Structure 1
Amino acid sequence: MLYYIFKLMDRVKRKAYSKYYKRILNIHRSVSLGEVVLDKKNITIDKGSYIRSGEVASGEASVVIGRYCAIGSNVSIRARSHDFRVPTASDFNEENLRVHGDIIIGDYVWIGNNVFIRHGVKIGDHAIIGANSVVVSDVPDRAIYAGVPAKLIRINEELIEPELRSSVVGENEV
């Protein structure tokens, strides 16, 4: 019984955070946010996208996630990072330096579980990022990338455009 009470409390908390983030950020009302931590500025998420869990850190840069993106669990999208020249604070400077770079994720992108996306990266429309990948460079439209660091596996030539998908899905039903 106690388990179900905690599950219910967790669901209520997640729903409250989702409403809060949608109110202070530019997040479409149809977006589904799971257990996600978001910075409180410079984040845009368009219609129909979802994030299962992870973090989106924008810092002084911006993060833009397009329409109908499917983002898996434990995904880290970080538009800011430590500057390698002064990566930590010291007795001489109380702050560590940061580097920032906008991240743009196109429309209809699928990002697998446990993916890290580095600052300054652009991921094109209809791209697929394989699970456990580290994305450190731009990904072109329709590309399938995976690995550490993520590299081109192939271009998705079989892609069915979104406006044609309903007729194809109907053909494959058994």
Structure 2
Amino acid sequence: MRKNAERLLRQIANTESELQPPLWRELFGALGEDSWVRAPLFCEYGKSVRIGNHTFLNAGVTLLDGTAITIGNNVLVGPNVQFYGASHPVDHIERRDWTARWKPILVEDDVWIGGNAVICQGVTIGARAIVGAGAVVLKDVPPDTVVGGNPARIIRKLTDSER
């Protein structure tokens, strides 16, 4: 799967953007209707990534996808956002073997993730949430909230009129 992903990513890089959608569909486990991905993008496997309908991934996205990364419908992902499904042990002896531990990432519907944000393993970002640019998200984000900072924290709840 890794070699296939590398091949497809090279092919995408050398293909005009209007002609890329079939290649993205071949790379990912799912790519919904009217969704758009801008190259360049990095992923390890591709098939563990599922993207819903009407979703946009801007250029420079990184997906460490040794586990499921699910991005819902109507999601906007800014440039250079990183999804880290992996981490490594705290114990330095275990790390010598490049041991990785994986936990899935879930981004629910109608989320906006600002540029250069980092979404860490095991995180769920609730529906309609906004992740500020440059945020490092280590914990679940409740629906209808704005988070930002490093580590990301809740800045405020979205009001009914804002939704």
Name the residue aligned to 1:37. Answer: 42
1:153 aligns with 2:155: yes
CA offset digits 1:23-60 (Å, max 9, x no partner): 2421114211012223322111000001102111210x
Give the superposition deviation at 1:11.
Answer: 7.3
Within-5 A mapping of 1:30-69 = 30-35=34-39, 36-38=41-43, 39-53=45-59, 54-59=61-66, 61-69=67-75
Structure 1 stretches of 5 or more lacking a match?
1-8, 90-94, 161-174
Q: 1:28/1:131 Cα in 2 relative to 1: closer, same or farther (>3 Å)?
A: same
Give the superposition deviation at 1:17.
Answer: 5.2
Q: How many residues align?
A: 146
User: For 2:23, what is the secondary structure of its paired residue?
Assistant: helix
Quick one: which of 120, 125, 128 aligns to 1:126? 128
Give the superposition deviation at 1:16.
Answer: 5.5
User: For 1:73, what is the secondary structure of its paired residue?
Assistant: coil
Name the residue aligned to 1:167. Answer: none
Q: 1:150/1:37 Cα in 2 relative to 1: closer, same or farther (>3 Å)?
A: same
Identity of aligned pairs, percent?
25
User: For 2:154, what is the secondary structure of its paired residue?
Assistant: strand
Higher-Rg structure is: 1
Kindly provide the amino acid, as one letter, of the partner of residue 58 in structure 1.
Answer: D
Contact in 2 for aligned 1:66/1:105 (Cα 8 Å): yes
Quick one: which of 87, 98, 101 aligns to 2:100? 98
Give the superposition deviation at 1:15.
Answer: 5.2
Contact in 2 for aligned 1:22/1:29 (Cα 8 Å): no
Q: Which moved more, 1:74-83 or 1:130-139?
A: 74-83
Kindly provide the amino acid, as one letter, of the partner of residue 119 in structure 1.
Answer: Q
The CA distance in 2 between the partners of 1:78 and 1:98, in whole Å, is: 11
The CA distance in 2 between the partners of 1:20 and 1:84, in whole Å, is: 38
Q: 1:70/1:83 Cα in 2 relative to 1: closer, same or farther (>3 Å)?
A: same
Structure 1 residue ranges, 4+ long, deviating more than 4 angstroms after superposition: 13-18
Name the residue aligned to 1:165. Answer: none
